[in-house]
Amino acid sequence: MKLWHQSFTVLDRVPAYRSVLEHEFRRLAAPGTEVVMHGMDPGTYLSAYPGEDIRYLHVQGLHAQQILRNVRQAEREGYDGFMISTLPDAGLVEARTLVDIPVVGYGQSSMHVAAMSGYRFGIICMIKELAPLYEANVRRYGLGGQFVGAHWLGMEFAEVSQGYDDPGPVLERLEAKVHELAALGIEVVIPGEAVLNAVLQRAGLRRIGDVPIVDGLAATLKTAEMMVDLHKLTGLSHARVSYFSKRPPQGRLDELDQAYFGPRSAAP
């Protein structure tokens, strides 16, 4: 099985994060699964941190166009599945209308795993402006009745990324936040966004007291493997019956690519 991993970062600009991803994919992938890592185009963001852009609805939508072009490329190149590795699930619904191979999102995968691990779950995020998006996605995925909300960690990328070498301050802040949310009935936590998840996995944090911490990267990979297996064994594939699922004509998509984007170099 060959899976396309699509980050929402320019991976070459975040070497510590990339290193954690490579290690985790080697550790987590089933025998016979090959995960090929891809990032956004060089120059996509002004800094190494996409959060300065993706906290705005329109700008996130513009960047998601790279994901939508890449999912078609993945199918053309014979990949078995596609993983959108960002908690906002940028482009997820649209991507499933473009290809027949399984497409899974980090957010949806993590949320369903959380819902199966406890009665009430919540998100602790780095980008507070994205909380309404996470709440809307949870409702879209049918899990609103189990959701305790998306809550800001109180730290952003610059501070959290220091946790690769010194995780103490990040772990201390997260533990305090989990205890605070316990009063709201939280039973399971999804750490967001993926950089925070990577810091926690590198530090080996699996739970805080009786509250499990979902490994979003593992949830995404294992969901992708499961969906590819179901696709191969049973023929299960995306629905094609409504506005949210019908696949556009390939020829027209090619024309629109040229009209809107023109030629483009491959992402790393």
pLDDT tens, position by position, 145-174: 999 999 999 998 889 999 999 999 999 999
Residue 264 pLDDT grade (very low, low, confident, very high; cuts 50, 70, 90): low
65-68: long-range contacts, CB 8 A cutoff, minimum separation 24? 65/91, 65/260, 65/261, 66/40, 66/41, 66/267, 67/6, 67/8, 67/91, 67/95, 68/94, 68/95, 68/98
3-state class of 123 per DSSP? strand
Say what the pTM is: 0.94
Residue 260 above 70 pLDDT? yes
Q: Is 150:121 a contact under the CB 8 Å cutoff?
A: no
Confidence of residue 265 (pLDDT cuts 50, 70, 90): low
Q: Quote the strand ranges of the chain, DSSP E.
A: 2-7, 34-38, 81-85, 103-105, 121-125, 147-152, 188-191, 207-208, 211-212
Phi, psi angles (nearest 5°) of residue 165? -95, -30
pLDDT tens-digit readout, 182-200: 888 999 999 988 999 999 9
Task: Indicate the class that CATH gives domain 2-226.
Answer: alpha beta
Q: How many CB atoms lie within 10 A of CB 143?
A: 16
Task: Give pLDDT, residue 267.
Answer: 45
